[in-house]
Structure 1
Amino acid sequence: MSTTPVATSSRLNHVRYEIRGSLAHRALELEAEGRSIYKLNIGNPGLFGFRVPQHLRDAVAANLDRSEAYCHQQGLSHAREIIAAQQRSRGVTDSSVERIFIGNGVSELIDISLRALLNPGDEVLLPSPDYPLWSAATLLNGGTPVYYSCSAENAHFPDPEEIEKLITPRTRALVVINPNNPTGAVYSRELLSQLVRIAERHRLVLLADEIYDTITYDDAEFVPLAPLAGAVPCLSFSGLSKLHRACGYRIGWLSLSGARARTGDLHHALDLLAALRLCANVAGQWAIEPALTGPDTSAALTASGGRLHEARRAVLDSVASSCFLNVVAPQGALYAFPAIDRALLPGFDDEQFALQLLEQESVLIVPGSSFNLGTRQHFRITLLPQPAELRDVFSRIERQLARGAEPARHVA
């Protein structure tokens, strides 16, 4: 009998997803040995005591007997009408039921969208750092990621001039993640308008990852991209996972907007791919109407004194008192993206640090380079733990950084 390993797709060679990668596997091994681990690697509200709002749960429970058959490949008609109505209220005047697609989370819809768009070698403009699913889905669908910088030196905002210089005849799409994961940046109306003008000049499709929607802090304002895009083809992605803390429901949606003469073939491709996977989870779709028309359950969490706002404050206070860290204050989403002062730790390596922090201080973070960032001094943590837990986490991070600084002090 042959012992030759089964060959796998070469398209996986450059695909990374360290958020659930080797460090997360090592954390599970340590837990099996009896260790208690602070897991700050995933923005999963249900694991930190957040609950799906009761009116969403009631809607799902009340409609279980209507959820046992496949639905239309684009989703339940009434749920799509609610999403289209939200889009129209935001200024997408031509939004309609047939231009809404409901999927098993935004992740599935990102993959379907890139599959509909890309031919081998086509280029997609992605932010660096990015949410790594975007890079992975681009590669797995035969495309080539091309990264535009969103550095801490520029408050994690992109530079429109740099983006335009990266465009080639193979560029098909521009991805905008706002509010941003992993940095927490929230883009201004003027910046978004500049990106729209670039897409218009170069006939690009805009892909707007807006899963963190209105999760913003202090005076930051979420501005949806599609109303600014107007006739420019735009796919806007959102869902129940973050704003409504319903990750396990696996319900996301995309809204197709832009001139119908330009988006007809894309609509047909999306419909075909949606049909091939039959439909999204039907039971969870009943939560869409109460989520979008019911009471706002997130504003109190992000307002001053709310749990997420105070968690953010705990992170900012901890970084301010650190000897080694700095951070651009996140204005939205559920994460912070601190950086190490390389003058104090010149040999710092984010992956090595993350492993040492896990082994010695029982804290699981994600190295910044996992987000397709060329430098190695950042790490991402989620703001979902209680504020007191985050203060404890940062005291552990400080201890670990101090251990790393000792050899440098001796050399000096």
Structure 2
Amino acid sequence: MRVSRTAGAMPHSGIREIVNRVIELPGGRISRLEIGEPGFPTPAHITRAAWDAVPRGVGYTPSTGTGELREALAARLRRVTGLDLPASRVVVTQGAVQALSALAEALLDPGDDLLVPDPSWPNYEMIGRMRGASVTRYPLRASAGFLPDPDEVEALITPRTRALVLNSPSNPTGRVFPQEVVAAIVTAARRHGVWVLSDEVYDELVFEGAPANAVALDPETVIGVYSFSKTYAMTGWRVGYLTAPARVTALLSTVQEALLSSVSAIGQYAAHAALTGPQECVARMREEYRARRDLAVRRLTGAGLRIAVPHGAFYAMVPLAPGADSRLAALDLVGHGVAVAPGSAFGDTARDHVRISLSVAEDVLETGLDRLLSWGALTGFGAGLGRAAGA
């Protein structure tokens, strides 16, 4: 009795390895900086809309989302990004990760190649491999401030390349790509007939610079992927969306039916309330994240660390000693009372970094930074945890 070789070969998430180590430890013992969970409750007007929906009755919805929510999403894209696209080009999904999974089903065949950033959210690579695609990484080097080189990205495109992932603001680096960089990558993709999957789930969490807004550059080449999770602190509600050319959304109607039938109706009511209700909560959370970013940068640079200042999202990459094994460092740091994500969880380029989340409450962040810097003083930021030692 066989199981899927593709699924069996899938590596476990390096982030989840740390999460699973600390999740059941007594509260307060570990400062949890390893996961990107918004440090705020879902705003009250959103949860109230979900409660109010229940007595009206909830059932199946269209596979691509309710017409009311899709119209509100099209209006949101016009307001925030300037895109003037019909609601028929918007598809509601079960979070951004399911949007990307559906797109992999719609766009990739086994043997195709998917280009992803390195470092990047590990699910990109997992989703591509689950579809039977090969995955090629384009580097975001610390020496270049974790920004891509468009010429280097284009040089990696081959006749087998079907799509490339763009993510700005970036997880895990928090970097916001300059508009000319985004435009150059989109132009290169169009030249080679390659889809661009622009993950913009942090598009309203930008402190300096501007969101990628890559769809506006070429709505027939770029597919935008968005989410309510980070903007509205709705991670557990599992509602995301995408905008794509009409022939892709037509395919996705069938793909969505096969994958999940429809997104939770209650979640869609809540998402509609998020879009049409007061938006001050978004600005307030963004300013809190900015303050936490400033605190972390001040503490880390004050300790002599050279970091690429995050200009969006709520993450920062912290350098270890050159050649240090970030997985071993992250495991060791748990014993010192702080959980971080190893850079190796995000690819090869930042294996001697760890990612910290800035989304947590300020006192948790302060304590976590204290413990991280104390550990760094003891170990030389993992100088003794070389890659050879972890082999």
Runs of 5+ unmatched residues, structure 2: 385-391
Q: Which residue of 1 aligns with 2:294?
A: 313
Q: Which residue of 1 aligns with 2:146?
A: 156
Match runs of 1:34-113 below 5 Å: 36-45=29-38, 48=39, 50-89=40-79, 90-93=81-84, 95-113=85-103
**CA offsets, 1:280-303, max 9 Å, x none?**
111011122332233222223333
1:23 has 2:45 as partner? no
Other structure's SS at 1:23 match: helix
Q: Distance in 1 between matches of 2:111 and 2:382?
A: 46
Checking the alignment, whether the CA contact within 8 Å between 2:94 and 2:263 is kept in structure 1 is: yes
Other structure's SS at 1:284 match: helix
**CA offsets, 1:210-254, max 9 Å, x none?**
11111011x322241111114x33221112100000111111111
1:116 has 2:126 as partner? no
Amino acid at match of 1:227: A
How big is the shift at 1:267? Answer: 2.9
Q: Distance in 2 between matches of 1:66 and 1:128?
A: 46
Q: Distance in 2 between matches of 1:114 and 1:397?
A: 38
Checking the alignment, whether the CA contact within 8 Å between 1:121 and 1:170 is kept in structure 2 is: yes
Q: Which residue of 1 aligns with 2:204?
A: 214
1:203 has 2:178 as partner? no
Percent pairwise identity: 29
Match of 2:306 among 326, 329, 333: 326
How big is the shift at 1:400? Answer: 1.6
Match runs of 1:294-373 below 5 Å: 294-296=277-279, 297-303=281-287, 307-323=288-304, 325-342=305-322, 348-359=324-335, 361-373=336-348
How big is the shift at 1:6? Answer: 6.9
How big is the shift at 1:71? Answer: 0.6
How big is the shift at 1:35? Answer: 7.3
Checking the alignment, whether the CA contact within 8 Å between 2:174 and 2:315 is kept in structure 1 is: yes
1:194 has 2:184 as partner? yes
| TM-score between both structures, scaled by the size of structure 2 | 0.91
Other structure's SS at 1:287 match: helix
CA gap 1:406/1:340 in 2 versus in 1, 3 angstroms: closer
CA root-mean-square deviation: 2.2
Other structure's SS at 1:72 match: coil
Amino acid at match of 2:349: G
Q: Which residue of 2 aligns with 1:269?
A: 251
CA gap 1:10/1:301 in 2 versus in 1, 3 angstroms: closer
Q: Distance in 2 between matches of 1:151 and 1:175?
A: 17
Checking the alignment, whether the CA contact within 8 Å between 1:127 and 1:147 is kept in structure 2 is: yes
1:136 has 2:126 as partner? yes
Q: Which residue of 2 aligns with 1:241?
A: 229
| TM-score between both structures, scaled by the size of structure 1 | 0.87
Checking the alignment, whether the CA contact within 8 Å between 1:212 and 1:333 is kept in structure 2 is: yes
Other structure's SS at 2:380 match: helix
Checking the alignment, whether the CA contact within 8 Å between 1:79 and 1:288 is kept in structure 2 is: yes
Q: Distance in 1 between matches of 2:229 and 2:264?
A: 14
Q: Distance in 2 between matches of 1:196 and 1:348?
A: 35
How big is the shift at 1:401? Answer: 2.0
Q: Distance in 2 between matches of 1:269 and 1:62?
A: 33
Checking the alignment, whether the CA contact within 8 Å between 2:239 and 2:267 is kept in structure 1 is: yes
How big is the shift at 1:15? Answer: 3.1
Checking the alignment, whether the CA contact within 8 Å between 1:82 and 1:288 is kept in structure 2 is: no
Deviates more, 1:190-199 or 1:396-405: 396-405
Match runs of 1:375-394 below 5 Å: 375-394=350-369
1:292 has 2:288 as partner? no
Match of 2:376 among 392, 395, 401: 401
Amino acid at match of 1:13: A
Q: Distance in 2 between matches of 1:128 and 1:335?
A: 15
Other structure's SS at 2:310 match: coil
Checking the alignment, whether the CA contact within 8 Å between 2:141 and 2:349 is kept in structure 1 is: no
Q: Distance in 2 between matches of 1:408 and 1:131?
A: 26
How big is the shift at 1:86? Answer: 2.3
Q: Distance in 2 between matches of 1:299 and 1:13?
A: 42
CA gap 1:365/1:67 in 2 versus in 1, 3 angstroms: farther
Other structure's SS at 2:296 match: helix
Larger radius of gyration, structure 1 or 2? 1
Match runs of 1:158-197 below 5 Å: 158-197=148-187
**CA offsets, 1:74-131, max 9 Å, x none?**
11110011111223343333x2222211111111111111111111111111111011
